Amino acid sequence: MLKKQTGLSLNADAVQNFNQSQFDPEEGMLYDRRYNAGVEWNILNGGFLDSRAKLQSLPAERNYFNHLVNNESKDDFGLKMNECIYWFNEQKKRLLVERERILTSQINYLENLYFAKKISKEQLLKTQTRIAEINGMKGIFNSYNQHIDSRFDSTLLAAEVPLYDLNYNYFFGMINTRELADSMRLFLEENLLRQSAWYNEIKLKTYARYNVFDLLSTNPSYRKFFSVGVSVGVPIPFTNKEQDAVNKYKAQKQLQTLDTDLQNQRIELLNLAYEFRYQLKQYIIFHQKRILANEALRRERVKSKMLNTDFNPFQGLELIDNLLQIDIELLDLKQNLYIKLLRIHSKQNNLPLDSMIVQLDLPNYFDFEDETNRGVYVWSKVFETQNPSFIHEYIVYNQFDEAYIAVSNNDKFIAAKSALVKALNKSEIAVYPMIGQNKLLDSDDFEGELEALLAPFKNWKVDGIHLDIEPHVRPDWKSNKSELMARYTEIINYARILSNEKGWKLSIDIPISMDTAHVNRLFPKVEMIRFMCYENVKQEYLVRKLSVYSKYKDKIMVALRTEDFASRTEMELFAKTLYKETGIKCYGFHDLYRLIELDKKQTIEDEKH
C-alpha cells in the first residue's frame, strides 16, 4: 500500500457567487462562478518522502507488532490436545481390555490355588484389586472420549506415533531473544528518526491546475487557462526538538516492555523444553524397565517349562500384568510428550513444527533382537534331556530366527528332530540340517556320503544346509593345509550343487583366524559364512578381524559360544556391542543345550539372592 502512496492527489473546486460578483486578485478579473481541476503532489509531511521512509521500516515494524501480539493459538492447541488425548486413551483402553481378559481368565484358577493353600489371600485380593482398578480406568477414558468421539477421524487410530525429541540447535537458535531485540530496537530507532524528522513540521506541495472563470463581462464571457504553483507551510513556533524528546521517551518505554516480554517468553519456552526433556528421560527409563520385566517373564517361563519347584503361577501372572502396566505407562509418557510439543509449538506457531522436532530412535541395544538375525546351534545332546515341545518354545521365546539342527547316520533322535522341524516351520523359523562330520575330508566318496546323510531327512521343510566341517582341527592341519583346503572346497562345491537343485541356501562354519585369502575364495560359493569367534572374544580383536570383510557384511554371521562368557546376559550384551561396532546383523549362539544350562545356573543364582 505504501508503494502506491506517491503523494499525488486529484483536486477539483467549484465556486458560485450569489450576490455581487467576486474579484480574483490573483487573476485580476471579476467573475460569477469559477471552476478548476488539477493534480497536487504532497512532498513532505504525509506525502511522498514520508511514505518512502515508512516503506523502508515496514519489515521491522511488522516483526515488532507480530511479537507485541500474543502469537499463541489457544483454540488450535486445545483442539489438537483433545485429539491427542483421545488417540492415546483408545490405545490405553485396548491394553486395559487385554489386562482384564488375562486376569479374569485366571481368577478361578487363583481361587482354587488359594483354597489349596498354594497362594495367600493377600495375593488373591491383589488380583481382584487390579481388576477393579482396570474397570475404573476404563470408565475414566470412556467418559473423556465420548465427548469428542464425533469430531475425531477414526482412521487415525491405526496410525503409528513415533517418539520425537526437540531439534535443540534449531529450537534455541529461533528463540534467541538478543537477535530479535536488536531487530526491534533498530525499528524503534528508525521510527523515532522518522517521527522526529524536520519534514514532519513542514508542508510542501506542488500543483498543476486547469482553471475556468465565468466572467462578469460579455466579451470575453469566460476565461480558461493552466496554472502551476508551490505551497509551503512552516509552523510557529518550530517544535521539532520538543517532539524529538517526547518520541525518545516513548521509544525507551517500548524497548523496556519489549525486553521484558521477550525474556519472559524465552524463559517460558526454556521451561517447557526442560519439562519435555525430563519426561523424555522418564520414557527411556520405563522403556528399559520394560526390557527388564520382559527378561524376568522369560526366566519365569523357563522355570515353568523345566518344572522348577520355585515356579509360582501367581508370580508369572503378576509379571505379565506388570508388563502391560508398563506399556500403559509408556503410552501415558508419550502422550505427555506430544502435548508438551503441541504447547511449545502453540507459543511459536510461526515456526514450522517439522523443523522443531526430530524422530528419536532409542539405542540399538533396546531392539537388538528385532534388528538382527539370530541363529542357534541344536546338537543332538539337547534331545537327551528336553522334548521337542520345550525346545521349540525355548527357540521361539528367545527370538531365534534360525535353527541349525545336527544330523547323522542312524540318528536315534530322528523322530524328535522331525517333530521339532514341523513346529519350527509353523513358527516360520528357518531350519538348516547341520552336517558336522569331519570324516568327509578323508572320504573317497564324500558325494555319496553327503547325500546319504541328508536322505533320512528328505521330508523336512528346510531353508538350506549348513556345513560345520572343520579342517583346521585336524592334527595334520599345519603340515597338510593345502590338501585339506582343496578337499574342503570340493565338499563345498558339491554341497552347492545339491543346494541349487533343491533351491536351498548354503552356509559354512570357519574360524575367524582362517587365512584371509582362503576366506575370500569361499564367500562367492555360499550365502553365509559363520565365523566361529571362539576363545579370543576381545571386542577390539574381533572388530579388527571382521572389518577386513566389510564388503561381505551381509554374508557374515558371528558365532559365539557359551564357554567364553560368565553368563547369558554377558553373552547377549557382547553380541549387542559387536553389532553396534561392526553393523553385522547376524549372530549365532552355540549351542542350545548350553544356553539352557546357563539359564538354569542364572535361576539358581537368582534364588540365592
Least Cα distance to 308 among 380, 388, 390 occurs for: 390
Angle at 152 between CA 148 and CA 157, to 5 degrees: 120
Residues 19 and 107 occupy one common structural domain: no
**Quick one: DSSP state of residue 218?**
S
Cα–Cα distances in Å, from 131 out to 106, 122, 127, 289, 331? 11, 14, 6, 23, 20
Q: Is residue 185 part of a domain?
A: no
Residues 602 and 493 occupy one common structural domain: yes
Work out the number of other CB atoms within 10 angstroms of the CB of residue 430.
Answer: 17
Q: Is residue 552 part of a domain?
A: yes
**CATH code: domain of residue 385:** 3.20.20.80
Angle at 287 between CA 284 and CA 292, to 5 degrees: 130
Residues 164 and 133 occupy one common structural domain: yes
Least confident of 175-184, 198-207, 504-513: 175-184
Residues 397 and 309 occupy one common structural domain: no
* Residue in the block written with cell 529461533: 174
End position of a domain, from candidates 307, 329, 361: 361
Q: Is residue 182 part of a domain?
A: no
- Between CA 566 and CA 493 the distance in angstroms is 39
Residues 157 and 112 occupy one common structural domain: yes
Q: Is residue 189 part of a domain?
A: no
Task: Give the DSSP letter string of 187-225.
Answer: HHHHHHHHHT-GGGT-EEEEEEEEEEEEESSSTTSEEEE
Query: What digits encode the pLDDT tens for the residues 473-503?
Result: 998 988 999 999 999 999 999 999 999 999 9
Residues 401 and 536 occupy one common structural domain: yes
- Between CA 507 and CA 526 the distance in angstroms is 6
Residues 55 and 79 occupy one common structural domain: no
Do residues 38 and 208 make contact, with C-beta atoms less than 8 angstroms apart? yes
**SS3 assignment, position 407:** coil
Residue type, position 445, single letter: D
| Domain extent for 561 | 366-608
Residues 570 and 465 occupy one common structural domain: yes
Confidence of residue 364 (pLDDT cuts 50, 70, 90): very low
Do residues 106 and 321 make contact, with C-beta atoms less than 8 angstroms apart? no
Residues 341 and 404 occupy one common structural domain: no
| pLDDT at site 234 | 77
| pLDDT at site 197 | 66
CA 391 vs. chain centroid, Å, equals 37
- Between CA 604 and CA 609 the distance in angstroms is 9
- Between CA 52 and CA 58 the distance in angstroms is 10
List, in sequence order, every residue forming a beta bridge with 225; answer none if it has no partner.
211
Do residues 413 and 385 make contact, with C-beta atoms less than 8 angstroms apart? no
Task: Give the DSSP letter string of 502-522.
Answer: HT-EEEEEEETTS-HHHHHHH
Do residues 440 and 471 make contact, with C-beta atoms less than 8 angstroms apart? no
pTM given for the model? 0.51
End position of a domain, from candidates 361, 386, 405: 361
End position of a domain, from candidates 303, 327, 361: 361
Q: What is the mean pLDDT of residues 255-273?
A: 78
Higher pLDDT, 342 or 519: 519
Q: Is residue 355 part of a domain?
A: yes
Alpha helix (H) ranges present in 405-552? 414-426, 446-454, 481-502, 516-522, 539-547
Query: What digits encode the pLDDT tens for the residues 79-105?
Result: 778 888 888 888 899 999 998 998 888
- Between CA 563 and CA 24 the distance in angstroms is 122
225 burial class (0-12, 13-18, 19+ CB within 10 angstroms)?
A: exposed
Residues 319 and 343 occupy one common structural domain: yes
Higher pLDDT, 366 or 525: 525
Q: Is residue 246 part of a domain?
A: no
**CATH code: domain of residue 133:** 1.20.1600.10
Q: Pseudo-torsion of CA 562, 567, 571, 574, nearest 10°?
A: -140
**SS3 assignment, position 35:** strand
The set of cell numbers assigned to 407 is 544330523
Q: Is residue 186 part of a domain?
A: no
| pLDDT at site 70 | 46
Query: What digits encode the pLDDT tens for the residues 429-471?
Result: 999 999 999 999 988 899 999 999 888 888 899 999 999 999 9
| pLDDT at site 60 | 58
Q: Is residue 183 part of a domain?
A: no
Residues 393 and 515 occupy one common structural domain: yes
Cα–Cα distances in Å, from 191 out to 50, 195, 261? 11, 6, 20
Q: Pseudo-torsion of CA 43, 49, 50, 52, nearest 10°?
A: 140
Q: Pseudo-torsion of CA 99, 163, 157, 130, nearest 10°?
A: 20
CA 22 vs. chain centroid, Å, equals 87
Do residues 568 and 599 make contact, with C-beta atoms less than 8 angstroms apart? yes
Residues 588 and 445 occupy one common structural domain: yes
Question: Number of folded domains in the chain?
Answer: 3
Work out the number of other CB atoms within 10 angstroms of the CB of residue 64.
Answer: 20
Query: Which helix H or strand E contains 194, and what residues bound it?
Result: helix 177-195
| pLDDT at site 357 | 82
In the predicted model, is pLDDT for residue 175 greater than 70?
A: no
**SS3 assignment, position 351:** coil
Alpha helix (H) ranges present in 69-176? 74-115, 121-145, 168-174
Do residues 12 and 39 make contact, with C-beta atoms less than 8 angstroms apart? no
Residue type, position 582, single letter: T
Query: What digits encode the pLDDT tens for the residues 116-169?
Result: 887 788 888 888 888 899 889 888 888 888 777 656 555 555 567 788 888 877
Confidence of residue 366 (pLDDT cuts 50, 70, 90): very low
- Between CA 170 and CA 509 the distance in angstroms is 50
Helix axes 240-305, 388-397, angle to 10 degrees: 170
